[in-house]
Amino acid sequence: MANTTELGAPRSALIPALHRVVARRSETADVVTLWLEPLDGARCSFRSGQFNMLSAFGVGEVAVSVSASPSDPGPLRHTVRDVGAVTHALCSCDVGDVIGVRGPFGTDWGVTRNATPNDTVVVAGGIGLAPLRGAVEELVAARHEGAGRVFVLVGAREPDQLVFLDDLAAWEKAGAVVLSTVDRSAPGWSGHVGLVTTLLANAGFDARHCRVLICGPEIMMRFTARALHELGVDPASIWVSLERNMQCGLGWCGHCQLGPLLLCRDGPVVGYLEASALMNERER
Ligand SMILES: Cc1cc2nc3c(=O)[nH]c(=O)nc-3n(C[C@H](O)[C@H](O)[C@H](O)COP(=O)(O)OP(=O)(O)OC[C@H]3O[C@@H](n4cnc5c(N)ncnc54)[C@H](O)[C@@H]3O)c2cc1C
Ligand code: FES
């Protein structure tokens, strides 16, 4: 079978490749990580920040970021929050179940392509750490090759909504500065309480010479970018990941349009200078 269709798109972009769930972990009460292996053994490469369209057969298809690192030799990894019909079906998958995967699609964080000796600050809200996880893994690994310091600032509504606690500990052990905060405390939490923006001023990064990657709810990304700007960070050094309803993933259907951008193709990772004018636009 040819690898491209008559429309010129790679077959993997149009036809879901069957993947088996080979492992599953509940991250929080409503967030599940699935590890997936292709039935035909043909793993796809991807860049951190990109997403796949995942199909729960008979229910539907949704966009979900890859939460693995591109250098991870293991199975494909996606972390899904149960918010509706399709994500519920995906989160309900057991080991052995089969789902569809189309992709990967979209722009990436570019952390290895744009390696820098300067600081990189990663700011995540809730499950926003999932699309950033691969980038942090790459950044932490690059520290051994002389790349800049890594700061990971994580916020969640409540302590039991913090994801990837094992990764946070491993990144800190590997030399990253890892700070977490919750909006509302709970019994047993002795850490910082406050919005993720309250971590910025004392985190210790060089505001004049850094790049920042942000993923979370749009309001959190807007306030974080503004606070960074006030601290002296150049807005041209800030990147955000934007989410809109995706259908084709190929720049054909227009469902993901945001101003002049088709976010499946020109996003999800967009420079804040371009994104800031568009982030108030409602989904079509
Ligand atoms: C590029 C991209 C990457 C994404 N990565 C992840 C990820 O790594 N993990 C994850 O859990 N989710 C991710 N999402 C969001 C995910 O696609 C939606 O949660 C999903 O489409 C909801 O579908 P549903 O049928 O389960 O719920 P629906 O019934 O369609 O929606 C339920 C609720 O979720 C809201 N919603 C629907 N679509 C989105 C969306 N795109 N963004 C935010 N809220 C939405 C709806 O407004 C509604 O309130 C990503 C979305 C995009 C566009
Ligand atoms: S999802 Fe169809 S154009 Fe982007």
How confident is the model over 103-141, as pLDDT tens digits?
999 999 999 888 788 999 999 999 999 999 999 999 999
249 lines ligand 2 (CB under 6 A): yes
- In this structure, are 136 and 210 located in the same domain? yes
Say yes or no: CB of residue 28 within 6 Å of ligand 1.
no
- pLDDT of 6 reads 55
pTM: 0.93
Confidence of residue 283 (pLDDT cuts 50, 70, 90): very low
Identify which of 87, 215, 253 to mutate to test ligand 1's pocket (most ligand atoms within 8 A of the CB).
87
* CB of 84 shorter than 6 A to ligand 1: yes
CATH code, domain carrying 61 = 2.40.30.10
Which CATH number fits the domain that encloses residue 168?
3.40.50.80
Q: Are 177 and 150 in contact (CB under 8 A)?
A: yes
Residue 283 maps to a domain: no
Among the listed residues 21, 23, 22, 27, the one whose alpha carbon sits nearest the alpha carbon of residue 166: 27
Residue 11 confidence (pLDDT) above 70? no
Q: Enter the tokens of residue 69.
A: 């690192």
Domain for residue 125, yes or no?
yes
The secondary structure of 149-175 as a DSSP string is -EEEEEEESSGGG---HHHHHHHHHTT
Query: Domain check: are 57 and 135 in the same one?
Result: no
Question: H or E element: which one contains 102?
Answer: strand 98-105
Q: Please tell me the total count of domains within the chain.
A: 2
Taking alpha carbons only, the member of 27, 26, 44 closest to residue 101 is 44
Question: What mean pLDDT do residues 6-35 have?
Answer: 87
Q: Token pair for residue 201?
A: 């001023």
Are 223 and 163 part of one and the same domain?
yes
DSSP H helices in the chain: 11-14, 85-91, 129-142, 165-173, 218-231, 263-266, 272-276
pLDDT for residue 157: 96
Mean pLDDT of the chain, nearest integer? 92
What average pLDDT does the segment 25-32 reach?
Answer: 97
CA max distance for the chain: 59
- Which residue range forms the structural domain that includes residue 92? 11-105
Encode pLDDT of 49-80 as tens digits.
999 999 999 999 999 999 999 999 899 999 99
* Pair 16, 70 in one domain: yes
